[in-house]
A and B are shown apart, each in its own frame.
Chain A
């Protein structure tokens, strides 16, 4: 068994919280630059210029990309030959969030007692942690701060299998259409198809971790992504909803087998500030 110390996990999570909120990934920057070249609307072009300029300012390390530094979603791929020592894994992650959000001057955006008093927890904890046990002796940590504005634009539908491919395409396009300017377009459209309600929403969110615009390895799924993207970008919503041809930078679809009676589909929208950073211990 390989030992990984909780302190190392805490320090890594803290670093990833800060890095993800200040430095946009090169894949996202490239997608935005490409969008700027393709956008025909002058207002849309101006918006994209300002988004790119904003990323440059944030990368100086003083001001985060967005004031909404998110609820911290953490994905773990924990090797089955790893032994976590000197503490509690989940607490080590929350301690990392606490440290990162304080030291990085990040906004504390989490409230407890969600349906009543809505009391801010003041350190952005708890994180939402998804742990997958995988072969090997490594721990991969992905920190994904998710803003509330785009998370609110999320949808789930339990289709009848008869709805088929066309039913899914039409519905996903409708979801993006009715979200309009709210999720801060240009967005990345995360789609989960199959599984159960919990699984389909999880794979929709996980699809957002893929490098922006990298097609799904299965050609059938990649073709579906391309078709939805083309349809979405005909909606006219454009950057920030002010009109244009670039409403989405990409559509990412993930699938999972499902029950013979079911066809669950989830949409999880990601704003243009598509933040996530990962590390392998």
Chain B
């Protein structure tokens, strides 16, 4: 399914765990250190460096761009490290996250509460994923280097719905299907 950002509730309602999607539009990039700063900003009553309403955050820290390229390799990082920050980000309007790996129960509950979705990109397919990123710019926290907050323009960025707004979990479903009993 092709989807565009920002995400609206009617699109999120159509997404189910296990669906393959191709995302086009603007997405934002931030990982551990950027999240720590964003939550500190919210705690201090400040605005975030971007308006999170309806937006997607991609948990990623790219390798340096070679001349003539918008970005270097750009695959997902493991998402659970952002779990402590995620419910707060959803509360202020974030609608999607792209990463890899399992999310905690608080995040999955928050996805239901705020109608949002967690996608996975293929970890370690970073050179392939870079193809779908057409523009990239650092918008805040430049001192963090690879961990700076970025804005990307993506076309047909490949991802899979892991956790939908209904409590579905593609990892649990996939594992249940292929698990061989008698462990």
Binding site for B on A (CB under 8 A): 40-41, 43-44, 47, 50-51, 53-54, 57-58, 62-69, 105-109, 118, 120, 122, 148-149, 152, 173, 180-182, 184, 231, 234-238, 240-245, 271-273
Contact = CB atoms under 8 A, between A and B. Distances in A.
Given A105-B64, A173-B183, A240 B122 contact: yes
A36 to B, nearest CB: 14
Contact of A41 (B75, B80, B174): B174
B126 A67 contact: yes
Interface string B84-126: 0000000000000000111000000000000000001011111
Contacts, number: 172
B171 interface: yes
A181 B101 contact: yes
Contacts of B173: 243
Contacts of B127: 54, 57-58, 62-65
Give the dominant DSSP class at A's interface. loop
Contacts of B123: 66, 149, 181, 184, 240, 271
A107 B174 contact: no
Interface of B: 18, 33, 60-66, 69, 72-75, 77-78, 80, 100-102, 120, 122-128, 130-131, 144-147, 158, 160, 170-171, 173-180, 182-183
A107 B71 CA distance: 12
A43 B174 contact: yes
B1 to A, nearest CB: 15
